[in-house]
């Protein structure tokens, strides 16, 4: 590149050439050159960058109230305007750093400081703001990065994940109502079991998701506690009295979600237990989605040689060689996401275990996996709902035939002929390929009339 395509920035280590069209500074450039990991594809999550935009704006507002001689109204206005551009995603091209950098996320904090400072100076038309002295005022990377983690996690869960799950819950509620009078064979161990209403089966799916939402929501209060104000090691050095509570209030106002300052900043800097707990709830949701998607694709299997008890939407051809084949692709996508989320849980837990003395040093990889889980779950559940669940239809004829062919209907005879005689009846019916009624009468356990009186499959639910 020609020299004109660069500008010279400096930091405490000296001068660095930075691309002239980028807003980042020397420390970002050093990180970009020193951590060429992942081919530039494993970059800091967008949610973290936007959370940092909220934090820098909130910190400027708090500093303006607590130390107006340093954070003047002019500086505040410029930082606010630049911070809003970060929050909106307008400046995302200026945040190139990879996840696999310093474990404290210091370089990404400085990336934000440099971009906000340079953009604010552009807006002002003069050099007024310094990345460290002004944008990072009353802060440290050690308390801003864990704060960004919590802000991003809460916003992602509340704004994207819970709405997606809630929509699927509402779909299942509708399907329960539509299928309340359909009775089918139950299954346990992939074997025939006693009857169940199709609406009851759906209610199990719906209730699982409702419980998952409850578990996720239980994790939110702890995630809403912020480390900001602890600065380097939790003591709050260089932050004015009351900054921690005030900045949490400002973050709440900007984000639209309630945040509070953490009571113990030493814990907030070094422990990531809140994220581990919350991700456990995400893993529970993933496990339930795996089960639900598998149930649905089993029930829809066929169309002639499988269970075939439900119809699901046919969205695209399923084979490059078998004409007319259609596959349960939405179910497959959800189950692959579930595998990824369960794998991410290991990374989150391992990263959280690496809190050495006053600081966790695996924070970027911890939050990257956490946010990927939220993002994948939210997207896949929405896709599954919109392209599969809303179109589920019962194959009533197949359900009825399977129900009346089930040998486990013999269970309703237990009170009249006893468990062992009922077992003999089922075994004879299976061995001779005859009905339960014929087997029971043949064995002399009940008359044909008495059998018809007590054998009511539709009333066994």
Write down the domain spans for the chain: 11-139, 152-178+197-228+260-393, 406-459
Q: Is the CB of residue 446 less than 8 Å from the CB of residue 413?
A: yes
Query: For the packed helices 46-66 and 106-124, what is the interaxial angle rounded to 10 degrees?
Result: 60
Rounded Cα distance between 259 and 250, Å, is 9
Residue-by-residue pLDDT tens, the chain, 461 positions: 455 799 999 999 999 999 999 999 999 999 999 999 999 999 999 999 999 999 999 999 999 999 999 999 999 999 999 999 999 999 999 999 999 999 999 999 999 999 999 999 999 999 999 999 999 999 999 999 999 999 999 999 999 999 999 999 999 999 999 999 999 999 999 999 999 999 999 999 999 999 999 999 999 999 999 999 999 999 999 999 999 999 999 999 999 999 999 999 999 999 999 999 999 999 999 999 999 999 999 999 999 999 999 999 999 999 999 999 999 999 999 999 999 999 999 999 999 999 899 999 999 999 999 999 999 999 999 999 999 999 999 999 999 999 999 999 999 999 999 999 999 999 999 999 999 999 999 999 999 999 999 999 989 99
Residues 6+ apart with CB under 8 A from 68: none
Catalytic residue (choose from 189, 257, 353, 404): 189
Q: Whole-model pTM?
A: 0.96
319 is catalytic: yes
Catalytic residue among 319, 320, 404, 435: 319
Out of 3.30.300.30, 1.10.40.30, 1.10.10.1200, 3.40.50.1820, select the CATH number for domain 406-459: 1.10.40.30
The span from the CA of 340 to the CA of 347, in Å, is 11
Which tens digits make up the pLDDT trace of 7-54?
A: 999 999 999 999 999 999 999 999 999 999 999 999 999 999 999 999
**Which SS3 state, helix, strand or coil, does residue 115 take?**
helix
Contact partners, residue 434, CB within 8 Å, separation at least 6: 428, 442
- Answer yes or no: 406 catalytic: no
The CATH number of the structural domain formed by 152-178+197-228+260-393 is: 1.20.200.10
User: Which of 3.30.70.2860, 3.40.190.10, 3.30.450.20, 1.10.275.10 is the CATH number of 11-139?
Assistant: 1.10.275.10
């Amino acid at each position: 590149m020609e020299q004109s395509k660069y500008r010279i920035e400096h930091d405490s280590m000296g001068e660095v050439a930075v691309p002239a069209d980028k807003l980042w500074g020397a420390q970002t450039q050093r990180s970009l050159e020193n951590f060429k990991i992942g081919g530039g594809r494993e970059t800091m999550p967008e949610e973290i960058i936007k959370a940092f935009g909220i934090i820098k704006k909130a910190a400027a507002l708090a500093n303006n109230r607590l130390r107006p001689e340093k954070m003047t109204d002019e500086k505040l206005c410029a930082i606010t305007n630049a911070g809003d551009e970060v929050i909106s995603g307008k400046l995302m091209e200026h945040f190139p750093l990879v996840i696999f950098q310093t474990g404290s996320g210091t370089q990404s904090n400085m990336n934000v400081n440099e971009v906000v400072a340079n953009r604010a100076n552009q807006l002002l038309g003069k050099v007024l703001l310094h990345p460290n002295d002004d944008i990072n005022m009353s802060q440290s990377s050690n308390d801003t990065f864990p704060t960004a983690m919590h802000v991003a996690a809460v916003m992602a869960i509340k704004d994207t994940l819970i709405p997606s799950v809630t929509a699927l819950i509402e779909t299942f509620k509708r399907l329960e109502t539509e299928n309340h009078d359909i009775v089918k064979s139950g299954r346990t161990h992939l074997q025939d079991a006693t009857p169940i209403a199709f609406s009851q089966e759906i209610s199990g799916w719906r209730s699982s998701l409702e419980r998952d939402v409850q578990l996720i929501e239980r994790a939110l209060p702890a995630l809403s506690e912020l480390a900001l104000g602890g600065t380097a090691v939790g003591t709050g050095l260089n932050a004015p009295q009351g900054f921690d509570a005030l900045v949490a209030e400002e973050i709440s106002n900007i984000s639209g979600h309630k945040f509070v300052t953490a009571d113990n900043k030493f814990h907030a800097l070094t422990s990531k237990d809140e994220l581990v707990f919350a991700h456990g709830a995400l893993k529970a949701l993933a496990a339930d989605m795996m089960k639900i998607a598998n149930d649905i694709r089993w029930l829809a299997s066929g169309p002639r040689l499988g269970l075939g008890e439900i119809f699901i939407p046919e969205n695209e051809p399923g084979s490059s060689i078998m004409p007319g084949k259609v596959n349960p692709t939405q179910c497959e996508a959800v189950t692959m996401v579930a595998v990824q989320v369960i794998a991410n849980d290991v990374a989150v837990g391992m990263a959280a275990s690496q809190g050495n003395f006053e600081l966790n040093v695996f924070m970027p990889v911890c939050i990257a996996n956490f946010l990927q889980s939220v993002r994948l779950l939210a997207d896949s559940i929405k896709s599954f709902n919109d392209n599969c669940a809303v179109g589920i239809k019962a194959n009533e004829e197949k359900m009825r035939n399977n129900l009346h062919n089930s040998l486990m209907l013999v269970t309703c005879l237990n009170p009249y002929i006893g468990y062992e005689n009922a077992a003999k009846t089922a075994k004879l019916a299976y061995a001779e390929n005859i009905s339960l009624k014929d087997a029971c009468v043949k064995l002399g356990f009940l008359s044909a009339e008495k059998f018809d009186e007590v054998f009511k499959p539709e009333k066994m639910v």
